[in-house]
Amino acid sequence: MSTALKSIRSIAPLLDRVLVQRIKAETKTAGGIFLPESAVKELNEAKVLAVGPGGFNKDGQRMEPSVKPGDKVLVPQYGGSPIKVGEEEYSLFRDHELLAKINE
């Protein structure tokens, strides 16, 4: 989904959505040798850039999102709404679709 946006920072996710960018896998081995494109698997680790205010439970109360900007998370292989700003690619996931936090 391409946009004419100048910066991803202008995106404020709505409801329980979370804006993330996948972390790119190393394209070189430890010894500095470039890996072929096919070997560079798409990682499922991502950085949280922005978080919506949270969805509503059935009584209409806001549900606190479980992550915050700056967190590292494990995202599902598929799903999410892709967003393109210039050449950079981002994704919008629902809070409950995120699998885990990565505490490093």
To the nearest whole angstrom, how small is the minimum distance from the Cβ of residue 17 to a second copy? 6
Q: Which residues contact 12 (CB under 8 A, 6 or more apart)?
A: 50, 52
Q: Which of 74, 86, 88, 89 binds a second copy (CB under 8 A)?
A: 74
Residue 86 CA to residue 7 CA, distance in Å, equals 9
Within 10 angstroms of residue 7's Cβ, the number of other Cβ atoms is: 9
46 touches a second copy (CB under 8 A): no
Beta bridge partners of 83: 90
Written as one letter, the residue type at 67 is: V
102 touches a second copy (CB under 8 A): yes
49 touches a second copy (CB under 8 A): no
Q: Which of 35, 81, 86, 89 binds a second copy (CB under 8 A)?
A: 81
How many chain residues bind a second copy (CB under 8 A)? 47
Nearest Cα to Cα of residue 75 among 67, 83, 86: 67
Q: Which positions lie near a second copy, rule CB under 8 A?
A: 1-6, 10-15, 17, 19, 23, 25-26, 41, 43-45, 52-53, 56-61, 63, 66-67, 73-74, 76-77, 81, 83, 92, 96, 98-104
